Amino acid sequence: MRFNALLPARAPASVPRPPDPVPRRGLTAVVCACVVLVVGMVAAINLAVPLLAASALHPSAPVLVWIVDTYVIFFACLVIPGGAAGDRLGRKGVLLSGLLLFAAGALLSAAAPDVPVLLAGRALTGVGAAAVLPNTLAVLLHAVPAERRGATIATWASMTGIGGVVGNVGGGAVLSGGSWRWLFVAAVPVCLVLAALVARIAPVTPRHDRRLDLPGTVLLVAASVALLIGIVQGPETGWGSPLVVGGFAGSAVLFAAWTLVELKTAHPLLDPRLFRLPGLRGACLGMTAIFFGMFALFYVNASFLQYGKGFGVVLTGLGIIPLTLPLMFGARHAGKLSARIGLDTTTALAFAFTGCGLLGLSLTGSGTPYAAYAAWLMVTGAGVALALPTLSGAIAGSLPPAQAGVGAGLQATTREFGSALGVAVIGTVLTSRFAAALPADIRAAGDPHTVAQALAAAPAARAPEVVAAFVSGAQTGLRVIGAAVLVLGVLVVGQSLLSRRRSA
């Protein structure tokens, strides 16, 4: 994925620039470590879901989704303002502030005595991540000569994929200590060390007069949260409840208000008129759909391997690796394939692999050999490996070079927003099906909505029935997500074919 233009490449003439970049030893490694940290946290928290469910906080199923999604929503909605803040206030300073906010949020999460404090910590961590991600690349590019920028960008971008692997494997190792709090505790010293290294070796970059769109940012965050309230709270409070109906209605009103504000402001967070471009509109929908499917899988995979197959957290973290193998070794060949068979055919194959892989995973159960499960993970990963560079190229190719930064920001926003929606939808479907599949006597014992609650309410001899109900919920959730990805893929490819026909 390309994020190389989140920030303007040139400073105004009145701002002095050094004639040549000054290389900083170790800067690439430090910056890449920052990227791995903020991206890895998105994946690592899913491994902690079973521990959180069984903890003294006693979170309900919707609250578990909020614990995962709060970080992602703030990350998604603030990543473009985070880049703009770096332009205006100084990229090194905003990067340092982001790392310190991330550390503060992680510390607050680790010490949280109750769910509201934990959610506040997750939100603060997401704000820090949004300040870190766009400014790492800006700081790095300022310190490398022009001839090395292409390779530098490729190295930086690869960290977003590696971050997912590190988050799963490293998170599993940390959580093997037995408490979800260790995941956040471990992040604090890492943040502080990285902040000290950035302060020592990162160069100071020129500032640019790029205004911050505060009204647009606030409306986008509020609209996204309202939408997730409607999706997540439906199974618990009822789809016709005032909270759920108000969430959906409020989301529609807030998104409409955001659109009007963005159309009138001189420096919009994201110009809605861009979505008049069919290629850009389809590629953004495709990027959202792919991450919708991938992070829905991440959310259910951690609990399935621990509850359904009895894996420990370390093995669970390692268990997702087959998904990442095509990403690490096959994504670089997607461009050649697209040039040979065409953009639309490559996109269709990407969605077919991803959707069918998710449907294949929905057929696996507690008794399915892990080798079969891993094979379906690789099928899903093959689809993602085809989709990411293809859709990234389509977004970049739909905009003129002067708006490359907008395209890069769109990629970051759509992927994180798709991730949040995927977790919300599969969490909602899983909860509904799990509650319905529980034996009536266990369900009546306390109306449990999580596996941990059901296991606590049921006798030990009935534990297999609780696990079977969870597996049924996971299968249903993956089936819904897989079907949704296939339908969205048809829409993306169909729109692309129709726009090409009209152009011809």
The predicted pLDDT at position 246 comes to: 93
Confidence of residue 406 (pLDDT cuts 50, 70, 90): low
Averaged pLDDT for residues 347-359: 95
Confidence of residue 16 (pLDDT cuts 50, 70, 90): very low
Q: Which of 27-31, 370-374, 393-397 has the highest mean pLDDT?
A: 370-374
Asked whether residue 238 carries a pLDDT value surpassing 80, the answer given is no
Asked whether residue 397 carries a pLDDT value surpassing 50, the answer given is yes
Pick from 308, 388, 386: which is nearest to 350 by CA? 386
Averaged pLDDT for residues 363-388: 92
Pick from 144, 133, 149: which is nearest to 86 by CA? 133
Domain 1-6+21-212 grouped into CATH 1.10.260.40: no
- Spell 247-284 as b/e; 16+ CB within 10 A means b: bbebbeebbeebbebbeeeeebbbeeebeeebbbbbbb
Q: What is the pLDDT of residues 167-204, one digit of tens each?
A: 888 888 999 888 999 999 999 999 999 999 999 888 88
- Tell me the Cα Rg of the chain: 22
For residue 23, give Cα distances in angstroms to 139, 183, 203, 233: 11, 34, 9, 51
Asked whether residue 364 carries a pLDDT value surpassing 90, the answer given is yes
List the chain domain ranges.
1-6+21-212, 214-266, 274-504
Q: Which amino acid is at 12?
A: P
Per the model's pLDDT, the better-predicted residue between 376 and 58 turns out to be 376
Q: What is the pLDDT of residues 212-223, one digit of tens each?
A: 788 888 898 898
Per the model's pLDDT, the better-predicted residue between 343 and 472 turns out to be 472
- Structural domain 274-504, CATH architecture: Up-down Bundle (1.20)
Asked whether residue 22 carries a pLDDT value surpassing 70, the answer given is no
Per the model's pLDDT, the better-predicted residue between 23 and 280 turns out to be 280
Average pLDDT, the chain: 84
Averaged pLDDT for residues 314-319: 90
Per the model's pLDDT, the better-predicted residue between 460 and 109 turns out to be 109
Per the model's pLDDT, the better-predicted residue between 410 and 28 turns out to be 28
Q: What is the pLDDT of residues 95-148, one digit of tens each?
A: 999 999 999 999 999 999 999 999 999 999 999 999 998 888 778 877 777 777
| Residues 423 and 60: beta-carbon distance below 8 Å | no
Per the model's pLDDT, the better-predicted residue between 66 and 395 turns out to be 66
Per the model's pLDDT, the better-predicted residue between 392 and 12 turns out to be 392
Which helix (DSSP H) or strand (DSSP E) does residue 451 occupy?
helix 451-457
Domains 1-6+21-212 and 274-504 share a fold: yes
